[in-house]
Amino acid sequence: MERSQSNKLYEEAKVYLPGGVNSPVRAFRSVNGSPIFFKKGKGSHTWDEDENEYIDFCGSWGPLILGHAHDGVLNKVSEVMKNGTSFGAPSRYETKLAQLIVDNHRHLEKVRFVNSGTEAVMSAIRLARGFTKRNKVLKFEGCYHGHVDSLMVKAGSGLATLGTSTSAGIPEAYIGETLVLPLNDKAAVEALFEKEGQNIACIVIEPIPANNGLLLQDKEFLLFLRVICTRYGSLLFFDEVISGFRVGFEGASGLYGIKPDIMSFGKIIGGGFPVGAYGASSEIMDCVSPDGPVYQAGTLSGNPVAMAAGIAQLEECLKPNFYQELEEKTARFVRIVQDYVDVKGYPFHMFHVGSIFWLSFSNKNRVQSSDEVNPKSSELFRVFFDELLNQGIYIGPSSYEVGFVSQAHSAEDLNIAAEAIKSALDTTYAG
Ligand SMILES: Cc1ncc(COP(=O)(O)O)c(C=O)c1O
């Protein structure tokens, strides 16, 4: 595959941008070669600067549930954009998007729009602290919540619940109120709450952890978190930046039938534009400024163009059978691959929930915490990823990333991709 244009653009980008990118995983550091520069996308396909064509399963890391350049989204965006791109004052589109979300989500009464998933989580944590008047936050190893200072924390050694920072530039004091535990470990949560429960503002969790592989939790564990939060007066905060509007309109809370107290969103609600949101009951949301004492603001928050994209996308998602069809075609795609793997006996498993899938380089048929992920995955993935790319299939360039099937993926796309995965696995496990 010719990559000379991408390579040239990458060399230029490195002069002006750290690592040549604006978000680290894009830099291809976990795989061979250098990043591919894209110039066009339509439906399930993308084209790079060297005119190579791909079937895309990255989908901009989740937002593009309708595929690239969806006509309905583009039309709505162009219509709204003609009248100006930002006012810094209210417009009807903010209310319209909020109404679409709240009226179709049984656990939300009000939402506040921000500009990214990180901002949504950061603001929701502040709200949880402001509402409960407590400081401590419990998070889980293997869940990613954006680059919020106090959540860039990994578990400490042994039984310590106080973690260590995963980035330079974060003072110890900023993470001093963050407690970290392994996923799916009820006893550890119980023990922590016995000691610290009265001080814990919230438990934050990706109810479908999808940033360290797909670490599907037992519903019982999530229900247990609900119960313990209620018992101790802490808030249950579902970070649904990936799962929201992806595994169903009501995300993971709808899928599992669990009511969190606070939720954060991003990705899909912006239709490919930078949008995040957090939401809760009116009682909790009324603590946010200007109604309440928890300050949070944004120059471009609720930007009409981004809101228009979100409205157009979510209106499609609300159409009958939208999620059912996505789930069915993803399940079929996964089945084709898994049947082959089972016959071949490769130590590999393809997991999925709704239209999110993960390629796990291990024979474990359940992987529920980060320490169960095969540490050799990255090596195997490097070979696998090259093979897939050369066959015109684009997935996130890291073994820890999940893939996304969109409405635009046809049965033919999925058949082609399944065959490519099979042959890439043959090569990966040939050695
Ligand atoms: C669960 C979760 N929360 C928060 C974020 C941060 O969102 P953003 O990258 O829009 O800041 C992400 C990003 O992938 C995410 O997956």
Q: What is the structure's pLDDT at 162?
A: 75
| Confidence category of residue 154, pLDDT binned at 50, 70, 90 | confident
Q: How many whole angstroms from 145 Cα to the centroid of ligand 1?
A: 6
Distances, alpha carbon 126 to alpha carbons 5, 76, 119, 134, 197, in Å: 44, 34, 11, 10, 18
Q: Whose CA is nearest to atom 6 of ligand 1?
A: 146
List 144, 278, 323, 340, catalytic entry: 144
- SS3 (DSSP) at 308: helix
Report the share of the chain in percent with pLDDT over 90.
95
- Ligand 1 and 43: CB distance under 6 A: no
pTM recorded for the entire structure? 0.97
Domain topology for 4-69+320-428? Aspartate Aminotransferase, domain 1 (3.90.1150)
pLDDT attached to residue 4: 98
The average pLDDT across 248-266 equals 98
| Lookup: tokens for 84 | 């100006």
Instruction: Give the pLDDT score at 159.
Output: 56
Across residues 2-19, what is the average pLDDT?
98
Domain boundaries, the chain: 4-69+320-428, 71-317
DSSP string across 354-420: TTEEEEE-SS-S---SGGGS-TTHHHHHHHHHHHHHHTTEE--SSTT--EE--TT--HHHHHHHHHH
Query: Of ligand 1's atoms, which has the minimum distance to the CA of residue 267?
Result: 10
User: Which pLDDT score is estimated for 164?
Assistant: 86
253 C-alpha to ligand 1 centroid (Å): 17
- Cα–ligand 1 centroid distance for 148 (angstroms): 10
- The verdict on the CB of residue 206 being under 6 Å from ligand 1 is yes
Structural tokens at position 229:
């939060």
Calculate the CA 150 to chain-centre distance.
19
Helix, strand, coil share (%) of the chain residues, nearest 5 = 40, 15, 40
Is residue 113 classed as helix, strand or coil in its secondary structure?
A: strand
Is residue 429 part of the annotated active site? The answer reads: no
Give catalytic status of residue 54 as yes or no: no
pLDDT per residue over 347-400, tens digit each?
A: 999 999 999 999 999 989 999 998 899 989 999 999 999 999 999 999 999 999
Q: How far is the CA of 345 from the centre of ligand 1 (A)?
A: 35
Please list the residues that pair with 202 across neighbouring strands: 137, 235
Record the tokens describing residue 18, joined without a space. 């750290």
Q: What's the CA-to-centroid distance between 338 and ligand 1, angstroms? A: 29
Residue 244 pLDDT exceeds 90: yes
Q: How big is the CA angle at 103 (ends 101 and 105), to the nearest 5 degrees? A: 65
Whose CA is closest to atom 5 on ligand 1? 146
Q: Which atom of ligand 1 is nearest to the CA of 118?
A: 11
Which one is catalytic: 76, 110, 139, 267?
267
Please check the confidence at residue 157 and state whether its pLDDT lies above 70.
no
Beta strands 153-154; 164-165: pairing state: antiparallel
**Paired residues of 111 in beta bridges:** 279
Distance from C-alpha of 19 to C-alpha of 338, rounded to nearest angstrom: 36
Q: For ligand 1, is residue 146 a contact (CB within 6 Å)?
A: yes
User: Identical fold at 4-69+320-428 and 71-317?
Assistant: no
Mark whether 40 is an active-site residue: no
Q: Which phi and psi (to 5°) does residue 15 adopt?
A: -70, -35
Residue 290, preceding peptide bond in cis (omega within 30° of 0)? yes
Helix segments in 238-297, DSSP class H = 251-256, 282-285
Ligand 1 pocket residue status of 238, Cβ below 6 Å: no
Q: Which helix or strand (DSSP H or E) is residue 114 part of? A: strand 110-114
- Residue from 118, 208, 212, 217 to probe ligand 1 pocket by mutation (most atoms less than 8 Å from CB): 118
Tens digits of residue pLDDT in 414-431:
999 999 999 999 999 997
CATH class of 71-317: alpha beta
